[in-house]
């Protein structure tokens, strides 16, 4: 599954892993704002790796959790969804607006193959100092370069170079990032 090969999502070990992740996210989502230490412990149990000073506002959803790797200074606002059948690597000081969705999971295009129930995934990589606006969607296989900005509501279907602002559906480059903006 993690390598991007077709896999059977009903395999007992995958069902067990998703069930464990859903239990951890349920417990995380039921925490209160004064339970910072408990939230940290739950995220450390859920994510594959977690940098310093990371915040994820509940509610949060994911498939497995252990394929999610975030560096220091990560912030995810409310209603973030990460479908992590493949690795999701998020760099330093990345900020996600509300309802950002990151997908690695996908399905075969051929209808007969899709009907057979097999799935596959493509990893997602997000560089350092990236800001992803609310309701943006990052699709399977996408790499976002350092310092880029994804505008609210954008659907990212292809790689984003470093240091640009993208917007729209599908995402297109609007301009270069200007430190004076």
pLDDT above 80: residue 181: no
Residue 86 has a CB neighbour count (10 Å cut-off) of 23
pLDDT above 90: residue 180: no
pLDDT above 80: residue 1: yes
Distance CA 108, CA 91 (A): 29
Give the Å distances, CA to CA, from 104 to 33, 39, 82, 112, 175: 30, 25, 8, 22, 27
Say if strands 120-121 and 105-106 run parallel, antiparallel, or are unpaired.
antiparallel
Residue 148 has a CB neighbour count (10 Å cut-off) of 23
Mean pLDDT along residues 104-128:
95
Distance CA 162, CA 143 (A): 10
Mean pLDDT along residues 130-147:
98
Mean pLDDT along residues 82-107:
98
Residue 67 neighbours by CB under 8 Å, 6+ apart: 2, 48, 84, 85, 86, 87, 88, 104
pLDDT above 90: residue 22: yes
Distance CA 40, CA 35 (A): 9
CATH architecture group of domain 12-176: 3 Solenoid (2.160)
pLDDT above 80: residue 88: yes
pLDDT above 80: residue 179: no
Is the CB of residue 85 less than 8 Å from the CB of residue 67?
Answer: yes
Distance CA 4, CA 39 (A): 31
Write down the catalytic residue from 27, 38, 95, 107: 107
Mean pLDDT across the chain, nearest whole number? 96
- Percent of the chain surpassing pLDDT 90: 96
pLDDT at site 178: 83
Mean pLDDT along residues 98-117:
95
- Active-site annotation holds for 69: no
**pTM given for the model:** 0.96
Delimit the domains of the chain by residue range. Answer: 12-176
pLDDT above 90: residue 52: yes
User: Crossing angle of helices 36-46/12-29, nearest 10°?
Assistant: 170
pLDDT above 90: residue 15: yes
**Confidence tier at 33 by pLDDT (50, 70, 90):** very high
């Amino acid at each position: 599954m993690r390598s991007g090969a077709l896999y059977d999502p009903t395999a007992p070990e995958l069902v067990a892993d998703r069930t464990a992740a859903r239990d951890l996210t349920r417990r995380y989502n039921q925490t209160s704002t004064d339970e910072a230490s408990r939230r940290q412990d739950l995220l450390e149990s859920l994510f594959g790796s977690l940098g310093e000073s990371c915040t994820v506002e509940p509610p949060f959803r994911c498939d497995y959790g252990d394929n999610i790797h975030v560096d220091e200074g990560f912030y995810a606002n409310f209603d973030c969804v990460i479908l992590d059948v493949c690795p999701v690597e998020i760099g330093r000081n990345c900020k996600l607006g509300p309802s950002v969705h990151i997908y690695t999971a996908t399905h075969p295009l051929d209808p007969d193959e899709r009907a057979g129930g097999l799935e596959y995934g493509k990893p997602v990589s997000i560089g350092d100092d990236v800001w992803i606006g609310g309701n943006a969607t990052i699709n399977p296989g996408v790499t976002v370069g350092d310092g880029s900005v994804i505008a609210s509501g954008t659907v990212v279907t292809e790689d984003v170079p470093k240091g640009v602002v993208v917007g729209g559906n599908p995402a297109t480059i609007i301009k270069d990032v200007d430190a004076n903006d």
